[in-house]
Chain A
């Protein structure tokens, strides 16, 4: 276990100053997520174009440094992406957090990949994986399931 790997500079910085922590005006998709075991909550707002391009993405919520940083980095990377690109990035991230040593997708730029890889430190902390993935599952719900509330425990 290595705390330095978990709490990297980028994570601490995003945790302290989360990007896109607001509510998108005129959002047309949204979903709530919660972790009933610890009380973390997140609400993801999306503004999708007619072609389902992510014109804006934002979130509200509270949680630990890992969950806030993850939501912050996620919203930063997803903004401006198409429907398919978004799906690919989500799948790639969740795959990396679960088992893959690296990100596979070529959609993200190298420095964006580096940012996302910073979250890989949670792999060593099974109890904290849910902190990193909650906002991502909530994003899927907002995109796919018409905003069905996400819980880490169901």
Chain B
């Protein structure tokens, strides 16, 4: 599939947004959906729908097979060793809560430490924060440098003999910093530390190879990967998923239920209690196929060119200050304009059909550190083209005019 014409695969770009062509620069928040994914949901509900894994009738068998097909596709796409290392969740947030909760129950002792970075999204901090109270564990933060990056030395510095878990993002949703997960994992494992990766931004932008990265857990957000909402994936090494206790209780996750005892199902059912997001899982198979048809290497190259072009354009704009200049950067360009609050920027840009995000992007720790209350963020997907950044810049100039900036 030719990446230069990929935009036409996404029906939303046929629509005028308030009489403008849509310039969608909010993919770090959620990506748009290709037609194949939208159609698959329709087709499944129209022709194949049934719940999975329970009944023996024809539709149930069909749906179950389709559901499990996606698990196999995901396993292949992220190069996991075993199909049962793929757990479907309602989102990456639930995946991270699952890990924090079950590691907290079985693995952590009072006084143990968890190491995060200052870049973390709230969903890779709040679930660990719960353990401060329930388990009396301590949370440390590896600091960012002036480029908005977290070099491995800054992580190493904060490791103590009590550090049991390192939980880090693969790609920062604010500075775009890409962390060296493989090296961090090597370092952590040499000290017996578990590595949990928040892969929300890594999923759509980076090559996912679990055996290469060797991390213990990796959380994925499907709606940021051209897939449906309401679906996430937890990759976990088999030994951990087997050893850790179940997360939620309910139908489908049990082996035997008696009045005096309950035994739990095998992987992956153990972590998939209740009726799952069946249509979303089945449609996500199309998202994987879509990504495979372009090829992650092509996506990386295309997005690198786009980000470099965007940086170049915005650097020339003297009122714009870019946030973060990490060596390895992907996916996002965050910025501020001195004298215009990010919300005002976003409202004015919206008038031209330019969709960005303004706020703290669920990263208050990072914004506190940067000493700014909020920032504006332009984030990209496979469908973006260079002229999107030209339009962004033009609309930024409109902001400057309204706010009387030179």
CB distance from B157 to the nearest CB of A (A): 29
- Residue B344, interface by CB 8 Å: yes
Q: Which residues of A contact B351 (CB under 8 A)?
A: 1, 3
The yes or no answer to B358 lying at the interface (CB within 8 A) is yes
* Residue B153 interfacial (CB < 8 Å): no
The reply to whether B359 and A37 contact each other, CB–CB distance below 8 Å, is yes
The interface centre, meaning the residue of A3, A6, A12, A131 with most chain B CB atoms within 10 A of its CB, is A3
Chain B residues with CB under 8 A of A68: 341
A53-76 vs B: 1/0 string, CB under 8 Å?
Answer: 000000000111110100000000
Please name all residues of chain B whose beta carbon is closer than 8 Å to the beta carbon of A38 when the two chains form the complex: 343, 358-360, 374
Please judge, given known A-B contacts A38-B374, A39-B374, A64-B341, whether A6 and B358 are in contact too, CB under 8 Å. Answer: no
Residue pair B348, A3 in contact (C-beta under 8 Å): yes
Residue of B nearest to A6 (CB): B347
Docked Cα-Cα span, A131 to B358, in Å, equals 13
B368 nearest in chain A by CB position: A39
Which residues does chain A contribute within 8 Å of B18, judged by CB atoms? 1
Interface string of B342-371 (1 = CB under 8 A from A): 111001100100000011100010010000
Question: Which among A3, A12, A41, A64 is the interface contact of B343 at CB below 8 angstroms?
Answer: A64
The yes or no answer to A14 lying at the interface (CB within 8 A) is no
Residue B260 at the chain A interface, CB threshold 8 Å = no
* Bound CA–CA A62/B342 (angstroms): 12
Contact of B373 among A37, A39, A65 (CB under 8 A): A39
CB distance from B344 to the nearest CB of A (A): 5
Q: Is the Cβ of B373 less than 8 Å from the Cβ of A12?
A: no
In the assembly, what is the distance between CA of A89 and CA of B373, in Å? 30
**Which residues of B sit under 8 angstroms from A37, Cβ to Cβ?**
359
Interface residues of B in 309-354 (CB under 8 A from A): 339-344, 347-348, 351
Q: B402 at interface (Cβ–Cβ under 8 A)?
A: yes
A1 — which chain B residues lie within 8 A by C-beta? Answer: 18, 351
Residues of B within 8 A of A64 (CB): 341-344
User: Which residues from chain A contact B374 at a C-beta distance below 8 Å?
Assistant: 38-40
Residues on B with beta carbons closer than 8 Å to the beta carbon of A16: 339
Contact of A12 among B358, B364, B403 (CB under 8 A): B403
Q: Pick from A6, A41, A68 the residue with the most CB of B within 10 Å.
A: A6
Count of chain B residues near A, Cβ 8 A: 20
Q: Are A128 and B373 in contact (CB under 8 A)?
A: no
Q: Which residues does chain B contribute within 8 Å of A128, judged by CB atoms? A: 343, 347
> Could you tell me which residues of chain B, from 385 to 406, have a CB within 8 Å of some CB in chain A?
402-404
A38 to B344, CA, bound (A): 12
- Chain A residues within 8 Å of B402, by CB: 3, 7, 12
Q: Residue of A at shortest CB range from B398?
A: A3
A6 contacts across to B, CB distance below 8 A: 347
* A62 pairs with B344, CB closer than 8 A: no
Q: State the CA gap A131–B364 with chains docked (Å).
A: 19
Known: A12-B403, A12-B404. A39 touches B367 (CB 8 A): yes
* Inter-chain contacts of A40 with B (CB < 8 A): 343, 373-374
- Docked Cα-Cα span, A81 to B344, in Å, equals 31
Cβ–Cβ contact B373 & A41, under 8 A: yes
A7 to B342, CA, bound (A): 14
Output the least CB separation between B131 and chain A (Å).
22
A3 vs B351: C-alpha distance when bound (angstroms): 8
By beta carbon, the residue of chain A nearest B360 is: A39
A62 adjacent to B403 (CB under 8 Å): no
Contact between chains at B404 and A39 (CB < 8 Å):
no
C-alpha gap A63/B360 in the complex (Å): 12
- Distance between Cα atoms of A54 and B367 in the complex (Å): 35
User: Chain B contacts of A125 at CB under 8 A?
Assistant: 347
A residues less than 8 Å from B348 (CB atoms): 3, 7
* Complex alpha-carbon distance, A40 and B342, angstroms: 11
Contacting residue for B344 out of A39, A41, A66, A127, CB 8 A = A66
Within 8 Å CB of A3, what residues of B?
Answer: 347-348, 351, 402
A64 CA to B364 CA in the complex, in Å?
A: 17
Residues of A within 8 A of B403 (CB): 7, 12, 65
Chain B, 90-149, CB within 8 A of any chain A CB: none
Determine if A63 and B341 form an interchain contact, defined as CB atoms under 8 angstroms apart. Answer: yes
B399 to chain A, nearest CB (A): 10
Instruction: Tell me the minimal C-beta distance from B359 to chain A in angstroms.
Output: 4
User: Which residues does chain A contribute within 8 Å of B340, judged by CB atoms?
Assistant: 65
Which A residues lie within 8 Å of B343 (CB)? 38, 40, 63-64, 66, 128, 131
Lowest 9 CB-CB distances: which A-B pairs, in order? A64-B341, A64-B343, A38-B359, A39-B360, A39-B374, A62-B373, A39-B373, A64-B344, A65-B344
Given contacts A38-B358, A40-B374, 11 further A-B contacts (CB under 8 A): A1-B351, A6-B347, A7-B348, A7-B403, A37-B359, A39-B359, A39-B367, A63-B341, A65-B340, A66-B344, A68-B341
14 contacts between A and B (CB under 8 A): A3-B347, A7-B344, A12-B404, A38-B374, A39-B364, A39-B374, A40-B374, A63-B341, A65-B341, A65-B344, A65-B403, A66-B343, A66-B344, A127-B347
